[in-house]
Amino acid sequence: MAGFEPLSLEKQDRYLELLGMSGTAASDYSFINLWGWAEEYGLQWSFDKNLVWIRQTLPARIFWAPVGSLDGVDWKQALSSLGTHEATFTRVPKELAEVWERQLAGRMEALEDRGNWDYLYNAQELVALSGNRFHKKKNLVNQFRKKYLSRYVDLTPDLIGKTRDMQEKWCEWRDCESSLTLSAENRVIDRVLGAWESLRNIIGGAIMVDERLVAFCIAESFSRDTLIIHFEKGFTEFLGSYQAINQMFLTAHREFTLVNREQDMDEEGLRQAKLSYNPVDFVRKYRVVIR
């Protein structure tokens, strides 16, 4: 196995090819997610035939699940190439954890990692917002449309400057500097926006009110039917802005049937917010120790 090196845009296409072979549904392994958070987590990768190994170095060293053609791999041999007697993996999709359990019986321990489970939603339900389950969401969208003279637009390169300005103002309002999580997310959003025209499969949307950008969404076409929502921001002074950007963006992209809205990281408020949109399933992940 080659040595680990920092992630690069130059190897994006090779990574995406291997990601397509893996069949994983976990948002962690989308290239945009890896690229965006690479500096925050000190992410590195190593390409080995039809696998790519991913290693996190900040705040501590830990492996992520490998990506690539996972069928028929001799995992005892493959894992030995890491050169360590004990390896800890985070964000391991359930399917791979089960394969390891079969091949590495007695050598591995898997613990459910609920905070890293991805939330999956029926895209059409989030567009229609029908029934009692979505009554409050639909009311807020209707109030937003009625109160503000707004228009939805695709997030194109010419709007990157306005999007950055909105994110800066949003951070001032939320006092991002006092939160390690929000500060990190702010840097990640800026990194993604800065590389917008180089990132494959990136899409986004925004809402304008009197030429002011008041909400935006950054997403990724992850597979033919699945969309990942990476970031969603709205000015709360515009009541219903979050619900409106969610609904308007998905209305503009009806080609997707499934929406992945990523994890809640065990944050109770975020968990309740994600549950309030009525997920239809989860991408289950584990923390795995292999000895």
Q: Is residue 287 assigned to a domain? A: no
224: nearest Cα among 261, 188, 176, 256? 256
Burial class (CB in 10 A: 0-12, 13-18, 19+), 94: middle
Q: What is the pLDDT of residue 71?
A: 86
Domain extent, residue 21, equals: 5-117
Assess contact for 264 and 74: CB atoms under 8 A: no
188 shares a domain with 55:
no
289 is a domain residue: no
Q: Which two tokens stand for residue 23?
A: 């069949």
Go through the chain and tell me how many residues it has: 291
Q: Is 60 among the domain residues?
A: yes
Q: Tell me the C-alpha to C-alpha distance, in Å, between residue 185 and each of 1, 17, 45, 70.
A: 32, 27, 22, 31
User: Is residue 64 located within the same domain as residue 96?
Assistant: yes
User: How is 6-75 classified by DSSP, letter by letter?
Assistant: E--GGGHHHHHHHHHHH----GGGSHHHHHHHHHHHT-EEEEETTEEEEEE-SSS-EEEPPEE--TT--H
Q: Where are the alpha helices (DSSP H) in 121-175?
A: 123-128, 135-147, 160-174
For residue 6, the cross-strand partners are: 44
Q: Which amino acid is at 143?
A: Q
Identify whether 284 is part of a domain. no
What pLDDT does 105 receive?
A: 87
What is the CATH classification number for the domain harbouring 221? 3.40.630.30
Inside any domain, residue 280:
no
State the CB neighbour count (10 A cutoff) for residue 59. Answer: 9
pLDDT by residue for the chain (291 residues), tens only, comes to 669 999 999 999 999 999 999 999 999 999 999 999 999 999 999 999 899 999 999 999 999 999 999 988 999 999 998 888 899 999 999 999 999 999 998 899 999 999 999 999 999 999 999 999 999 999 999 999 999 999 999 999 999 999 999 999 999 999 999 999 999 999 999 999 999 999 999 999 999 999 999 999 999 999 999 999 999 999 999 999 999 999 999 999 999 999 999 999 999 999 999 999 999 999 999 999 999
Total number of domains constituting the chain: 2
Is 141 a domain residue? yes
One domain for residues 135 and 255: yes
Are 10 and 51 in a shared domain? yes
